[in-house]
């Protein structure tokens, strides 16, 4: 979640630089506000949740408080003058609730209901994101009929670039794993030299590289780009209502969705085989 929150903050800053040109000081102040203000707001909502939950043991009320606090904190962070990162606010609230908030959930029934309700919310949200992404790609990329040179939105080169991006992302992840390997070797759980041989450590790093899956958060950001006409007009250098505007937004969504599909069909499906080949299974 920290990675997801950081990605969204970087996206917001890049979006601001692209469509709302300003000076470096403005960008810096915005970044600091987004990053530092969110934990404070999240901690405040955590305190309110603890205060409420410490006075009730009702499973329904407990569940409603956690759900309401998550959505309300995000709205206040993003939709009001507070202007901080809603995702990082939720991340802070979630970490505190998972670490310390469980102490005020006194009954097994309440804990079970929390798990069931939040599991359903996450499942529905993920499903909706993937359905939206697929529908928008089909509608804008393959069913869009316009007169002129832009009749075909997606061509063979777009799908070739998607495969190339997928390969490069796996390569970049491998490079980052190599860069972080000394730290993981020194401090990673179960990876120190006293408990993990060098050969097993290398195998674990290979699994870490192969296990880099791109999913819902990437699709959310791609959907945001695909529906943002300010990005379209800025990059095209033409008015928003131009008939020959360049389909940059749709291509961002196509490439992101393609990478998600490839990592799901290739990396995820063959993960068990990779682990077995490396001899990291319990049987081996």
- Asked whether residue 190 is domain-assigned, the answer is yes
Q: What is the dihedral of CA 23, 247, 263, 200, to 10 degrees?
A: -30
**82, 106, 130 - which closes a domain:** 106
Enumerate residue ranges in the chain where pLDDT < 70: 1, 140-153, 236-246, 282-284
Name every residue whose Cβ is closer than 8 Å to that of residue 262 and which is 6 or more positions away in sequence: 162, 163, 166
**106, 132, 154 - which closes a domain:** 106
Task: Give pLDDT, residue 188.
Answer: 80
Q: Are 196 and 270 contained in the same domain?
A: yes
Q: Alpha-carbon distance 60 to 42, whole Å?
A: 22
Task: Give pLDDT, residue 178.
Answer: 93
Contacts 24+ apart (CB under 8 A), 175-183: 177/205, 177/208, 177/209, 178/205, 181/205
Beta strand spans in 3-115 (E)? none
Using DSSP, how many helices (H) and how many strands (E) does the chain show?
Answer: 11, 0
Range of the structural domain that residue 195 is part of: 141-277
46, 93 in Cβ contact below 8 A?
Answer: yes
- Asked whether residue 114 is domain-assigned, the answer is no
Task: Give pLDDT, residue 145.
Answer: 46
Return the biggest CA–CA distance within the chain.
Answer: 67
53, 101 in Cβ contact below 8 A?
Answer: yes
Q: Alpha-carbon distance 135 to 88, whole Å?
A: 29
Q: Alpha-carbon distance 175 to 232, whole Å?
A: 33
Name every residue whose Cβ is closer than 8 Å to that of residue 134 and which is 6 or more positions away in sequence: 257
Distances (CA, A) of 209 to 172, 191, 192, 256: 9, 15, 18, 19
DSSP 8-state code for residue 106: -
Per-residue model confidence as pLDDT tens digits over 135-184: 877 776 665 544 344 455 677 888 899 999 999 999 999 999 999 989 88
- Asked whether residue 116 is domain-assigned, the answer is no
Task: Give pLDDT, residue 147.
Answer: 39
- Asked whether residue 282 is domain-assigned, the answer is no
Task: Give pLDDT, residue 149.
Answer: 47
Task: Give pLDDT, residue 213.
Answer: 73
Q: Are 155 and 259 contained in the same domain?
A: yes
Task: Give pLDDT, residue 243.
Answer: 43
Q: Alpha-carbon distance 192 to 62, whole Å?
A: 41
Q: Are 81 and 171 contained in the same domain?
A: no
Average per-residue pLDDT for the chain = 82
- Asked whether residue 155 is domain-assigned, the answer is yes
Nearest alpha-carbon partner for 64 in 114, 100, 125, 98: 114
Task: Give pLDDT, residue 237.
Answer: 62
- Structural domains counted in the chain: 2
**106, 121, 153 - which closes a domain:** 106
Q: Are 10 and 89 contained in the same domain?
A: yes
Dihedral angle sign, alpha carbons of residues 214, 218, 223, 228: negative
Nearest alpha-carbon partner for 230 in 18, 10, 9: 18
Distances (CA, A) of 221 to 39, 51, 63, 127, 244: 22, 35, 28, 16, 24
Q: Are 60 and 7 contained in the same domain?
A: yes
**What is the pTM for the complete model shown?**
0.72
Task: Give pLDDT, residue 142.
Answer: 61
């Amino acid at each position: 979640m920290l990675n997801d929150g950081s990605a969204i903050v970087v996206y917001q800053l890049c979006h601001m630089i692209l469509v709302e040109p300003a000076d470096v000081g403005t960008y810096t102040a915005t970044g600091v506000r987004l990053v530092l203000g969110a934990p404070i707001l999240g901690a405040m909502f955590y305190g309110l949740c603890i205060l409420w939950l410490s006075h009730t043991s009702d499973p329904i009320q407990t569940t409603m408080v956690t759900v309401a606090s998550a959505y309300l904190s995000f709205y206040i962070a993003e939709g009001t003058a507070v202007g901080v990162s809603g995702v990082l606010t939720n991340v802070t609230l979630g970490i505190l609730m998972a670490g310390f908030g469980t102490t005020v959930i006194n009954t097994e029934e309440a804990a079970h209901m929390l798990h069931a309700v939040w599991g359903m919310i996450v499942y529905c949200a993920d499903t909706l994101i993937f359905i939206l992404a697929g529908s928008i790609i089909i509608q804008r990329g393959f069913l869009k009929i316009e007169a002129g040179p832009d009749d075909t939105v997606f061509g063979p080169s777009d799908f070739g670039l998607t495969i190339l991006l997928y390969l490069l992302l796996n390569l970049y992840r491998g490079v980052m794993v190599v860069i972080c390997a000394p730290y993981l070797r020194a401090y990673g759980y179960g990876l120190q030299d006293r408990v993990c041989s060098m050969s097993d450590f290398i195998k674990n790093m290979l699994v870490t590289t192969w296990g880099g899956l791109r999913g819902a958060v990437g699709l959310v950001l791609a959907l945001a780009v695909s529906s943002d006409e300010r990005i379209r007009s800025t990059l095209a250098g033409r008015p928003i209502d131009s008939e020959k505007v360049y389909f940059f937004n749709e291509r961002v969504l196509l490439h992101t969705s393609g990478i998600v599909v490839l990592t799901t069909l290739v990396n995820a499906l063959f993960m068990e085989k990779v682990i077995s080949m490396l001899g990291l299974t319990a049987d081996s």
